[in-house]
Amino acid sequence: MQNAQRAIKHYRQKRIFICLVVALVTLLTTLAVRFISQRSQNQQQLHTAAVHAITTIDKVLLPLQKEHAELLQLVGQPCEAINLPLRREAAALQTLRSIALVKSGTLYCSSVLGQRNVVLHDVVSELPSDSPQLLLFTDNTLIKGRPLLLQWYPATSDAGSGVLMSVNIDLLSTLMLEPQKPLINSISLTVKDRHLSDASGVMTTLSVPPSDQIF
């Protein structure tokens, strides 16, 4: 009788143990599947945020690329004669802060400030250049300390002459670099050796933790 009771008790204990093991395996499997699924969703969200920022920049730069050839034809003409067309063009390209014309290294006409006489290299050390350049810059003229995205197109006959377009990246950065918390704490845009973040503006150095992703 006692042997039968011990056998039944042992059977029950074994059955409970098996049930606990099955339940634990099921729980671990469920957690693993959810972790993999959530990780995939997180990766997709990061990718979507990066694509959104890149697409926004492309939409801004494409109209500039289309119009620069026509603007280059104005280089060398007197500022009094072309200032109004420059203003109209800058107003039509709504993301532009200003359009400036450069002749032989001197910025001589601005759509905002009119006639000028500024050595471009003294203001932007990378310019003029014999190839198109895209640069992040900090404004020191109109709204000091605010970020600008500079697009430079050189004249074919003279690398020291060309068109300099200033993109009002400050307005776009709020939408383009807005982090999607809690997954994304911050987003920054890197152009050459400068970096733009919505929180810190234009920086020359950017500390990237090992856990962060770069696109």
CA–CA dist 190, 214 (Å, integer): 10
Helix (H, G, I), strand (E, B) or coil at 171: helix
- Least confident range from 52-56, 72-76, 140-144, 208-212: namely 208-212
Q: pLDDT category, 138, cuts 50, 70, 90?
A: confident
The alpha carbon dihedral of 169, 170, 174, 175 has a sign of negative
Residue-wise pLDDT for 24-67, tens only, equals: 777 777 777 777 766 777 677 667 766 777 777 777 778 788 88
Query: In this structure, is residue 211 part of a structural domain?
Result: no
Query: In this structure, is residue 142 part of a structural domain?
Result: yes
Query: In this structure, is residue 86 part of a structural domain?
Result: yes
Query: In this structure, is residue 204 part of a structural domain?
Result: no
Query: In this structure, is residue 209 part of a structural domain?
Result: no
Q: What b/e string do you get for 121-153 counting C-beta neighbours within 10 Å, with b at 16 or more?
A: eeebeebbbeeebebbbebeeeeeebbbbbbbb
Domain that holds residue 116: 58-168
Q: Which CATH number fits the domain that encloses residue 119?
A: 3.30.450.20
- Number of compact structural domains in the chain: 1
Query: Rounded mean pLDDT of the chain?
Result: 77
Which pLDDT score is estimated for 154? 94
Q: pLDDT category, 180, cuts 50, 70, 90?
A: low
Q: What is the phi/psi pair of residue 150, to 5°?
A: -95, 130
Which pLDDT score is estimated for 68? 85
Share of the chain above pLDDT 90, in %: 23
CA–CA dist 148, 201 (Å, integer): 10
CA–CA dist 83, 143 (Å, integer): 21
Which pLDDT score is estimated for 43? 72
Which pLDDT score is estimated for 190? 72
169-176 and 2-72 helices, crossing angle to 10° = 160
What does the pLDDT average to over 147-160?
87
- Measured CA to CA in angstroms, residue 33 lies from 22, 29, 36, 40, 46 at distances of 16, 6, 5, 11, 20
What does the pLDDT average to over 164-192?
67
Is the pLDDT at 105 greater than 90? The verdict is yes
Q: pLDDT category, 200, cuts 50, 70, 90?
A: low
Is the pLDDT at 182 greater than 60? The verdict is no
- Measured CA to CA in angstroms, residue 41 lies from 37, 166, 183, 187, 193 at distances of 6, 37, 11, 18, 31
Query: In this structure, is residue 188 part of a structural domain?
Result: no
Query: In this structure, is residue 18 part of a structural domain?
Result: no
Query: In this structure, is residue 120 part of a structural domain?
Result: yes
- Least confident range from 49-58, 80-89, 150-159: namely 49-58
Q: What is the largest CA-CA distance in the chain?
A: 116
